Amino acid sequence: MSQIETLPAVNAIDFSLEPRLHETWPTNFNDVCLRSSGNCHPGENPASAGETIFPSLPPLHQGHPDVHLRNGIMNSTRSSEDHEPDSEKAFFVADLSQVYHQHMRWKANLPEIQPYYAVKCNPDPYVIRLLAALGTGFDCASLNEISQILDVGGIDPSRIIFANPCKAVSFIRNAASKGVHTMTFDNADELYKVKRANPNAKLVIRILTDDSKSLCAFGIKFGAPLHVVPSLLAKAKELGLDVVGVSFHVGSGCYDPSVYTDAIMRSRAVFDMAREAGYNFTLLDVGGGFEDALFEKAAFYLTEAINLYFPDRDHMRIIAEPGRFYVSKAFKLAGHIIARRAPLPDPSKSEEQVAKVEEDPDQPKVMYYINDGVYGAFNCILFDHQVIHPYVLSMNGSFHVSASEAKHVCSVWGPTCDSIDCVSPKTVLPAGLQVGDWLGFDNMGAYTVCAASQFNGFDLSNVIYTSGGIGSNEVHKVLASFAAEGNGL
């Protein structure tokens, strides 16, 4: 890398919308179009209007999410030409067929285990409606999450597990008044609280397991070690409380699914301890931690271990609390380059001279600033230990970026005034990238939107919803019949 030409940022971008639309649709656009609706023409925007299934929610479009990333960028460019305020905001595209696909994958690999979606992972209203319609349960950690699920309609409170072992007394009482009785605990104080606030609770003891093989370990905060389980169960018995089963969480983003084997073995030990204490456990909750890429492997370990340690399970229910697995891949984010810091060209030096004085070509020399950062959707960098890989969505008014385009090492930053707000400290992007261009980010569905703040006055990014390319019809059918029953409106 030698000299960087710094172009004037004002009006740097000029999408010539109509002609370019035809030129730059993805080569597989016909496929996308045919799969999604059947009666649209190549070059025509297949999903411009979208459909209203739930009046309280934004419309649901059809078609591949990449088409909607492009549409979103074109719409944003159009409205910025009209000088609409905040027209170039970052935005998500959510592909609900991805969520549907994950559910099918779950059913195929773990047919015996009922998923209770962990709402905290992404409480998106469409995701919740789709999963409700598909018949999953829900893992809630607070009264607000419980209300959000019950307010959808059509979800019986028995489909909720209050899976936070350390709850406010008022939460336990209010959950009970809403009909939510299944809840976890891992300490003796919680038992006294439950006794006061909901003596009819169906308690699930959360145990400590090996969470050292995961991105986010929970063991330092939650889970009863096996050696204290007998005394906790004795205390519950003494208080006349009903303990119905055991739960664990191997840690979120578990990268060694063999830990499930050990966790199931421990659960077996707790079932036996329960019998000693005078309980007959009927519920095994295997928690979350399922990683998309390792899911089949995790399912294999789990199934093996369950067969080994629970050979007789006719009167037993097995549930899980997957979060990340369902939503991670379903959301993509488009971020707009709002600023750039690049060295000015020095006309007195030749390119060779400049190259010579450059200390380390691997060090980022150009900084890009986009309009979402670690205080927004990219909080996953801080809280969820994610490493972010941006790619180019549009450059200089085109969706086509040639592979031969020169690249350089650069860094990508969020919009706030805090220096911790770094999206990618070092990445490789085309050297021609400038203010007005758009970057894309995949796998932005888990632990992103849910924890985003509006620090420094930056809004949360909007979501464009699509029922997807493949699977669109099924998603549509499931949601429409859920709505037809009067739910989710």
Eight-state DSSP code of residue 165: S
Comparing CB distances to ligand PLP, the nearer of 3 and 187 is 187
CA 212, 218, 219, 225 dihedral sign is negative
Stretch binding ligand PLP (CB under 6 A), from 103-111, 152-160, 172-180, 281-289: 281-289
Task: Say how far apart CA 459 and CA 462 lie, in whole Å.
Answer: 9
- Considering the complex, state which of residue 90 and residue 146 has its C-beta at the smaller distance from ligand PLP: 146
By CB under 6 A, residue 321 contacts ligand PLP: yes
Stretch of 3-11, 145-153, 248-256, 370-378 contacting ligand PLP, by CB under 6 A = 248-256
Single out the residue of 430, 481, 440 nearest to residue 65, CA to CA: 440
Q: What torsion, rounded to 10 degrees, do the Cα atoms 21, 23, 26, 32 define?
A: 60
Using CB under 6 A, which of 62, 102, 252, 371 touches ligand PLP?
A: 252
Based on CB atoms, which residue is closest to ligand PLP, 66 or 139?
139
Least Å distance, CB 28 to ligand PLP, is 32
Tell which one of 245, 288, 430, 468 touches ligand PLP (CB under 6 A). 288
Total residues in contact with ligand PLP, by rule CB under 6 A: 17
Closest CA to 161 of 60, 246, 259, 56: 246
For residue 445, state whether it binds ligand PLP (rule: CB under 6 A): no
Pairing label, strands 331-341, 137-140: unpaired
The residue annotated as part of the active site, out of 121, 166, 254, 417, is 417
DSSP string covering 45-85, please? -TTSS-B-SSTTS--EE-B-HHHHHHHHHHHHHHHHHTT-T
Give the helix/strand (H/E) hosting 480.
helix 472-484
Candidates 289, 432, 440, 468: give the one binding ligand PLP (CB under 6 A). Answer: 289
Q: Which two tokens stand for residue 393?
A: 């969505």
Asked whether position 467 contacts ligand PLP by CB under 6 A, the answer is no
139 binds ligand PLP (CB under 6 A): yes
Residues with Cβ within 8 Å of 360's Cβ and at least 6 positions away in sequence, in order, are: none
The residue from 120, 129, 332, 340 that contacts ligand PLP (CB under 6 A) is 120
Minimum CB distance to ligand PLP, residue 102 (Å): 11
DSSP string covering 399-424, please?
Answer: S---TTS-EEEEEEE-SSS-TT-EEE
At its nearest, how many Å lie between ligand PLP and the CB of residue 287?
5
**Local structure of 430: helix, strand or coil:** strand
Site string for ligand PLP, 357-396 (x = CB under 6 A): ----------------------------------------
Candidates 7-15, 114-122, 301-309, 370-378; binding stretch for ligand PLP (CB under 6 A): 114-122
What's the N-to-C CA distance of the chain in angstroms? Answer: 55
**Is 336 an interacting residue with respect to ligand PLP (CB under 6 A)?**
no
Q: Could you say which of 93, 99, 121, 205 contacts ligand PLP (CB under 6 A)?
A: 121
Binding residue for ligand PLP (CB under 6 A) from 35, 324, 332, 476?
Answer: 324
Burial class of residue 338 in the structure, from the number of CB atoms within 10 Å of its CB (0-12 exposed, 13-18 middle, 19+ buried): middle
Residue 118 beta carbon to ligand PLP: minimum distance, rounded to whole angstroms: 3
Site for ligand PLP (CB under 6 A): which residue of 54, 91, 126, 290? Answer: 290
Residue 410 annotated in active site: no
User: What are the tokens at 438?
Assistant: 């758009």
Q: Which DSSP letter does residue 111 get?
A: T
Using CB under 6 A, which of 47, 118, 203, 284 touches ligand PLP? Answer: 118
Q: Does 163 bind ligand PLP (CB under 6 A)?
A: yes
DSSP code string of 306-362: HHHH-S--TT-EEEE---HHHHGGGEEEEEEEEEEE-PPP-TTS-HHHHHHH-S-TT
Residue 414 makes contact with ligand PLP by CB under 6 A: no
Q: Annotated active-site positions, please?
A: 417
Residue ranges binding ligand PLP (CB under 6 A):
118, 120-121, 139, 163, 249, 252-253, 287-290, 321-325
